[in-house]
Every structure is written in structure tokens, then in C-alpha cells.
């Protein structure tokens, strides 16, 4: 996915990102999700970070995936690792993370995952881009896929970490550490409250 054919949109093996409303619009997000959904059809996890544009982009992504016939499992606000782990926990065919990572708040993006919960490689990403560019207007397609929600993705992630043999949560708690946490308005904030 190294070629960029959409103005003001950065396309790479990590996915697509741009300033919401400029390069990255709801229509572009829906069409990328549709392209991805035609390849990774089946159940698809969708998670988002805490950016304001995350909710409207989630609606667009869910619409595109469902128009491709995918069954969407919306996990809501979740970190990138929580979304990755949700793909394998739910045995999904893939996942879409709506995030722009380190970019400023006006940015957002889509990161695509394979069924192993790992980012698509270059050739897999190129296939999504190829379908994106060869797909016409999808506005009048019907929503064939189902939509469900799973509110347990973040808990699953935390419990998976705490169940590791190398983690002794009782020993850690007994030390009564004072912890200062700044999640910089990220998806981890609500999880830690």
C-alpha cells in the first residue's frame, strides 16, 4: 500500500490516514472498509481510539464492511493492542483499528489487521488498495452483513496480561506502589479509571 492516489491522504503498509474531513472523509473510509471487507469477509473486529472523529468514522467503516457482506463486531473505544487481541479472541477474519496513533488530533486513520491480529503485510495491503481503486460507487449497496457489539475486549486484554506466568499481581499489589498515569487522552484512559 505504498502508492498514494487520493489527495491529502497518506497510504502505507500501516493503512491510511489523513486530516478528518479533508483527505480522510467518511466516504473514503467507507470505501476502504468495503475493499478490505471484500477480501477479509466473515467476522471483522472494529475498534477506535478516543479522537472526536472516531465515532463518525466508525459508522462509515461499519457501513463499508457490512456492504461487503462482513459481520462486524464493534468493540468501541479500545487501544490498538486490545483490538489486535480481540481479533484472535473472537476468531475473527480480521480487524480495523480507527486511529492516527501519534498524529495530531485533527488526523485519523484506518489500520487493517489479518486473522492473526497482526497488521497486513505489503502485498496484503496492496490487494486492499487495488480493490479500493477498482471499486465504483458503493453508496447504494445494501447492508448485507450483521452488526454486534462486544464490550469485553479491554477486559480480555487486561486479563490476558494478568494471567501470564511472569506476572505476579499479588506481589506487585503488596508493594503498594504510587503510580502516576497520563494516557494523553488516549484509549487507555477510560480503561484505567
Residues classed as catalytic: 101
Tell me how far apart the alpha carbons of residues 23 and 4 are, in angstroms, rounded to a whole number. 11
Tell me how far apart the alpha carbons of residues 15 and 98 are, in angstroms, rounded to a whole number. 10
Amino acid at each position: 500500500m505504498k502508492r498514494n492516489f487520493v489527495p491529502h491522504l497518506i497510504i502505507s503498509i500501516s493503512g491510511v490516514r489523513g486530516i478528518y474531513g479533508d483527505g480522510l472523509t467518511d466516504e473514503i473510509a467507507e470505501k476502504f472498509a468495503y475493499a478490505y471487507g471484500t477480501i477479509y469477509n466473515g467476522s471483522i473486529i472494529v475498534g477506535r481510539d478516543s479522537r472526536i472523529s472516531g465515532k463518525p468514522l466508525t459508522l462509515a467503516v461499519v457501513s463499508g464492511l457490512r456492504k461487503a457482506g462482513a459481520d462486524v463486531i464493534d468493540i468501541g473505544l479500545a487501544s490498538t493492542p486490545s483490538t489486535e487481541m480481540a481479533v484472535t479472541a473472537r476468531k475473527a477474519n480480521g480487524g480495523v483499528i480507527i486511529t492516527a496513533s501519534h498524529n495530531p488530533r485533527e488526523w485519523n486513520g484506518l489500520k487493517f489487521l489479518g486473522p492473526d491480529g497482526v497488521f497486513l503485510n505489503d502485498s496484503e495491503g496492496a490487494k486492499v488498495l487495488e480493490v479500493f481503486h477498482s471499486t465504483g460507487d458503493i453508496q447504494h449497496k445494501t447492508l448485507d452483513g450483521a452488526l454486534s457489539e462486544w464490550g469485553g475486549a479491554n477486559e480480555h486484554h487486561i486479563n490476558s496480561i494478568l494471567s501470564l506466568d511472569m506476572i505476579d499481581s499479588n506481589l506487585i499489589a503488596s508493594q503498594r506502589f504510587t503510580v502516576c498515569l497520563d494516557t494523553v487522552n488516549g484509549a487507555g484512559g477510560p480503561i484505567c479509571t
